[in-house]
Amino acid sequence: MVLRLTLLALGVFELLRPRKVVDFWMGLATTDGDEINLRPWVYSAARVEGALLVLWVLRRRCGGE
């Protein structure tokens, strides 16, 4: 249950603020001073990922699993 709530919160946050989520994870994945240039579609992909997470959680909840 906690995992589903966490995924739901992450999915909603990704839908609303994809740039913040991607920048946060890229900051963790790179070392200081690395210059990273992301392609513009990365933020759209993060938004799609957020939508899929939300749909998955809601579908699992409605299915009673």
Inter-residue contact 13 to 21 (CB < 8 Å) = yes
The tokens describing 58, both together, are 């809601």
Per-residue pLDDT tens over the stretch 21-35: 998 988 888 887 678
Which residue reads 């409605």 in tokens?
62
Q: Which residues of 9-42 are buried (b: 16+ CB within 10 A; e: fewer)?
A: ebbebbbebbeebbeeeeeeeeeeeeeeeeeeee
Give the H or E element holding residue 38. Answer: none
pTM: 0.79
Residue 64: per-residue pLDDT: 60
Dump pLDDT digits (tens) for 42-57: 999 999 999 999 999 9
